[in-house]
Structure 1
């Protein structure tokens, strides 16, 4: 029987996002059950942010999925919250699993590597799609209002989930079905992912810069919508905290050197995925009002869908522009007024 690769060899091939202990092998660990595993301060903080962010994203999922009417933009936020919750939940669960269980290291590495990367790349793709669509709504308001397909948001989200699921599913299938083919094609497959990263990052930066200029111009005439600030803050947090993960993977693809420690990149990724719910509720809150508001109302206000009180205490959709005077609406749209 051919000798199985060691855990160190597999780690170098997979470029895993976790640092496994150097004495792990393909056989189950022989250490005594319940042996204490020390955690660094970065790992402790990562677990804390993962737990807090999982709660926050679960609230967003519940509100957008079952408590509010879905709009084109809320569909993106719903899927982004799902991607963040998937990343945080799997990070917390798999990290705790390594502490209290004797899981086979190879199974752990594949689960950690594929599931975490799947959720990370879906989140990056969704942010690029959100900022691009907001940019199009600013540059081409007439086209966006009149000619945008109705189910664009749902179609884009489904495509991004399917694309990343297929990519990482192929990696797992190749490993279990034919390891030789896996080792031959792994670099080519990950090179495709690097190209996707190189494409999305400039798109994210250019569209965000366009929104910044739009907000700057709008602030001279009137207060910009909260939705613009929501997109800009989410993108800014990702560039500061989420982007290092992709940069570390890109550097490891071509070199054995590391830009920042992998533990720090995981901590920043947990901060990025945990920050979005707090951004939504912070922007949607009205501090001048006394008393508590339902989180559903706060979230709708942050997404630019502030409800109007109706009969029975239920929220009514925000009234749209009157269509009796289309020439007046077209003039407003040409001036850039949403």
Structure 2
């Protein structure tokens, strides 16, 4: 049963329906799994459900943290260019965490009850949409910050006022468009259009993911090199630290889920390779990535002169967005 659920979770929506139509009855599978619990649970099942429970716990913490960030940045703080990006990133993380919780609850409830497969499909699609949107916004933050450091005069004089809001709107729309096209073409239109269109959409989404990864890594490295190896001295502000920590955490914890997405699209039968561990592990790491972002904001805001200070969450968040050098 565990291998079937993993197989189910990694395929596109169209492939999910095709596979599900060839499998035995869902209720019979649940009964068989419950009967196998009396004879013993495999190590694969133990690892899988352990990671699911951990993802659920981390998801609840991350949901609360991103909700706090959304409240302060959305209703209780004056927004600047970068706080708009952070607000949208928190929104993408909140959406991702919420449907990751739904995803985990689906597997947990399947132990005891039969849950409609549509719930799982919807949470899977929306999670991928939120992940894609969060990565796009993080790449946009890196690009804009790098431009502001390399060409500060041009950036201050010629940057349109509402650039951040416009870019975030376009990134939300593009991510939603790719997700909806993948869902509709690979699900409802798969029989009329054929599998070629679905595969083409997989390649387009994968290519966009690779572009975002390269842009995020390239501009982040360029920013670090410019700050520490440039000809002119650039003071390191709290905003630099916030962006650097967010990018670094994503590269370590959020990137594996995108790599899984890439390998699934390009390598045939990849789901048979480490299927018991790789998918739940990447989801667990991605949950930790979304959960870590609010913690980074509040930690960076609490550090002052190499000491941690207690203060209100609103003030800590304001300090994390501070783009001026610290006063000695």
TM-score range, shorter chain: 0.7 to 0.9
Is the 2:136–2:212 Cα contact (8 Å) retained in structure 1?
A: yes
User: Deviation string for 1:46-105 (max 9, x for gaps)?
Assistant: 111111111111100001001101111111000000101111111112321332352222
User: Deviation string for 1:158-212 (max 9, x for gaps)?
Assistant: 1011111111112222345323126331110010011111211111111111221
Change over 3 Å in CA distance of 1:305–1:295 after alignment to 2: farther
Matched pairs, number: 296
Distance in 1 of aligned mates of 2:287 and 2:88: 17
The 5-angstrom pairing of residues 170-209 of structure 1 reads 170-180=181-191, 181=193, 183-209=195-221
Q: Which has the higher contact order (CA 8 A, sep 6+)?
A: 2
**How big is the shift at 1:10?**
6.4
Distance in 1 of aligned mates of 2:279 and 2:7: 18
Distance in 2 of aligned mates of 1:151 and 1:113: 33
Q: Paired residue for 1:318?
A: none
Distance in 1 of aligned mates of 2:281 and 2:202: 22
Distance in 2 of aligned mates of 1:197 and 1:178: 24
Larger helix share, 1 or 2? 2
Distance in 1 of aligned mates of 2:55 and 2:10: 24
Q: Paired residue for 1:96?
A: 105
1:52 and 2:58 aligned? no
Distance in 2 of aligned mates of 1:126 and 1:277: 16
Look at both structures and tell me which one has the larger radius of gyration over its CA atoms. Answer: 1
Is the 1:84–1:273 Cα contact (8 Å) retained in structure 2?
A: yes
Superposition RMSD on alpha carbons, in Å? 3.3
Is the 1:230–1:280 Cα contact (8 Å) retained in structure 2?
A: yes
Is the 1:15–1:253 Cα contact (8 Å) retained in structure 2?
A: no
Is the 2:227–2:234 Cα contact (8 Å) retained in structure 1?
A: no
Q: TM-score, normalised by structure 2?
A: 0.80
Please give the secondary structure, in 1, of the residue aligned with 2:27: coil
Mean Cα displacement is larger for which, 114-123 or 255-264? 255-264
Is the 1:194–1:250 Cα contact (8 Å) retained in structure 2?
A: yes
User: Deviation string for 1:118-155 (max 9, x for gaps)?
Assistant: 01110110110000000000011011111101111011
1:244 and 2:261 aligned? no
Distance in 1 of aligned mates of 2:51 and 2:309: 37
Distance in 2 of aligned mates of 1:192 and 1:291: 47
